[in-house]
């Protein structure tokens, strides 16, 4: 018996490629009705094209210096959209100011993806199992986008515009920030907890969920009279609040909504204990 594999890949349709040297040169391609696609690392874009998506123009972003680099912005770190995952993991500033981010980024995906894939591409793709969105949501990061109609503006990561905007950079709070993650059930559900902890006091706490919804979700937890020491002792109560604040997760062939919600509760408790240690 001969087994023949079925392939869903298609030939990539012809396209033009342009290489703008600045953000302003990209903006005309963001207009409604343009069949153009922005290319950062290209991993997801090429997959889409192999699956039958057709674009008249591919806009390569590789020649735009304003989209590159990692810099200290005082109480935060600004990461250019074209920064690769490998660069994020290995950058000395990130290692100094956000060591938890550096550690997480050394573990996500695989070497090929880390060397080629970019922070911006990961966020814009908005795939539910990707790590960048929930990890950065847990830290309260914001994004700078450029639009043809309104120029540059700052937005929440949850409010990233669609194809009519260019992601320029991500601004990550870096003052006394901690990030812990549990990816043991990835890609079906993963949980990320970010907290600002100074002098034993917790003044900012967020729990973000990946894999359980079509888009990553984040819950901001009230921190009145919450100390680092009490995080572990109050883990069950806080985790229950997080679960109650979330909508019903997805049910698919891998996991039920009920299972995912239960695991969000369990993983959140574990992370809070780690933050409180």
Which CATH architecture does the domain made up of 65-173 adopt?
2-Layer Sandwich (3.30)
* Residue ranges of domains in the chain: 16-60, 65-173, 177-276
What pLDDT score does 225 carry?
83
Confidence (pLDDT) at 32: 62
Buried b or exposed e, range 259-276, using 16+ CB within 10 angstroms? bbbebbbebbbbbbebbb
Which pLDDT score, from 0 to 100, does residue 34 have?
Answer: 74
Mean pLDDT in order along the chain per 10 residues (277 residues): 51 93 92 83 92 93 97 97 97 98 94 95 93 98 92 93 90 97 97 96 97 97 93 97 98 96 99 95
CB atoms within 10 A of CB 90: 14
Contact 21, 60 (CB under 8 A): no
Write the CATH number of the domain with boundaries 177-276. Answer: 3.30.390.50
The pLDDT tens digits for 69-107 are: 999 999 999 999 999 999 999 999 999 999 999 999 999
Q: Which pLDDT does position 163 carry in this prediction?
A: 74
Please give the pLDDT value at position 5.
45
The pLDDT score that the predictor gives to residue 20 is 96
Helix, strand, coil in percent for the chain, rounding step 5: 35, 25, 40
Q: How far is residue 220's CA from residue 232's CA, in Å, rounded to a whole number?
A: 17
- Asked whether the domain spanning 177-276 has the same topology as the one spanning 65-173, the reply is no
């Amino acid at each position: 018996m001969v087994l023949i594999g079925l392939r869903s890949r298609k030939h990539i349709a012809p396209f033009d490629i342009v290489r703008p040297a600045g953000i302003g040169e990209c903006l005309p391609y963001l207009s409604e009705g343009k069949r153009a696609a922005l290319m950062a690392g290209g991993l997801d874009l090429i997959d889409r094209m192999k699956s039958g998506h057709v674009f008249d123009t591919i806009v390569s972003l590789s020649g735009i210096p304003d989209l590159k680099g990692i810099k200290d912005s005082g109480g935060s770190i600004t990461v250019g959209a074209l920064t690769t995952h490998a660069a994020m993991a290995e950058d000395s500033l990130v290692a100094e100011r956000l060591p938890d981010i550096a550690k997480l980024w050394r573990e996500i995906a695989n070497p090929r993806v880390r060397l080629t894939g970019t922070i911006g591409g990961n966020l814009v793709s908005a795939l539910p199992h990707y790590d960048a969105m929930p990890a950065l949501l847990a830290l309260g990061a914001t994004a700078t986008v450029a639009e043809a109609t309104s120029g540059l503006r700052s937005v929440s990561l949850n409010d990233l515009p669609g194809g009519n905007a260019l992601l320029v950079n991500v601004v990550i709070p870096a003052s006394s920030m901690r990030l812990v993650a549990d990816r043991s059930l990835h890609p079906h559900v993963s949980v990320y907890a970010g907290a600002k902890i100074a002098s034993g006091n917790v003044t900012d706490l967020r729990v973000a969920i990946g894999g359980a919804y079509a888009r990553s979700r984040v819950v901001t937890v009230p921190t009145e009279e919450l100390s680092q020491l009490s995080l572990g002792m109050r883990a069950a109560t806080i985790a229950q609040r997080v679960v109650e604040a979330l909508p019903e997760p997805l049910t698919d062939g891998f996991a039920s909504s009920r299972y995912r919600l239960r695991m969000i509760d369990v993983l959140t408790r574990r992370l809070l204990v780690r933050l409180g240690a």
